Chains A and B, each alone.
Chain A
Amino acid sequence: MLFLRIGLGLLFIYASLDKVWNPGLFAKAVSNYRILPVPLLHITAIILPWVELLSGLALVINRYPRAANILIGSMTLTFTLAIISAMMRGLDFNCGCFSVTSEEVNLGVQKIFENLGILAGTIILEYRLSKR
């Protein structure tokens, strides 16, 4: 469980850094999904990466780990549904999941399976943390 907790934490810290540093590029990535209303683009792009970063840090240092894990699971589920929704609407672009500045894998089944793997990790971790 230690490896799972720290692994998930480090993954989300890594995923957040590029977005924290480039909120404009992340806002553009979010706009590509065409789900959020335009007035919410900037505020989402400003807050979401910091929720990822703080949740990741919390998991690594084992401070409020359950809250952090639930947030990470909720975000992963939301991202997965957004990717599925975009694919069903025929949209094709880089997902902006881990990096907003470099070329990344376009939306696809591979991305969904990656996210489902992360989601499974958060569910296992929640089960273990809730038993403590």
Chain B
Amino acid sequence: MQSIPVLFKEIIGTVLVSAIIGISAQAVLPNGIHLKTDLTMIDSESGETAVPSIILDPNGNGAETGSVTLYQAYITFLEGRALFLDARDQEDYHQGHILGAISLPAHAFMDSLPMLDALSPDQIIITYCDGVDCNASIDLAADLQTMGFTRIFFFFGGWQEWQAAAYPIAKTP
């Protein structure tokens, strides 16, 4: 029977060897990442928020989508040029959403493909979720970009900022 100290050494050894290979591999892997978590600053009404860059651009190919502030989102809303997509659960959407927004929960993206097929690839789309604490708007924007949409933005302040500003909302009866 194997002694506990020997077993412990083997476990630590396996982890150490994995760490050495893993860290070294980042230099040769096409999608390698830095050891230190890179951050990207995103504007919101409450100031700048630091978000891990891999959330915006997980493949590291620089194909990130852009963010819009509350003001930019509101101006675009007034101009009527953008389609607002609500990335939250349908239950949250029914309780209240940006006026004219369509519900497209980020986790049910694949179910919404028929609706998206009807849109022009250069349609301006603004995604949003609850607020700076959620990433669903970013995930949805990334999925839309993968589908070929070229003018995708996420409104990072989301529902909380829009509601706090008392901008037009709607509720599902």
Contact = CB atoms under 8 A, between A and B. Distances in A.
Interface of A: 20-25, 27-28, 31-32, 38-43, 45-47, 49-51, 53-55, 58, 64, 66-68, 70-71, 92-94, 103, 106, 130-132
B25 A20 contact: yes
Interface residues of B, number: 40
A41 B11 contact: no
A53 B13 CA distance: 14
Given A22-B59, A24-B54, A64-B13, 11 more contacts: A24-B59, A24-B60, A28-B54, A28-B55, A42-B54, A46-B33, A50-B25, A51-B14, A58-B14, A94-B107, A131-B1
Contact of A67 (B11, B23, B26, B32): B11
Contacts of A45: 33, 54
Contacts of B106: 93
Interface of B: 1-2, 7, 10-11, 13-15, 17-19, 21-23, 25-26, 29, 31-39, 50, 52, 54-55, 57-60, 89, 106-107, 110, 135, 139
A109 B11 CA distance: 30
A32 B51 CA distance: 12
Nearest to B11: A67
A46 B26 CA distance: 8
Contact of B33 (A27, A31, A50): A27
B37 A41 contact: yes
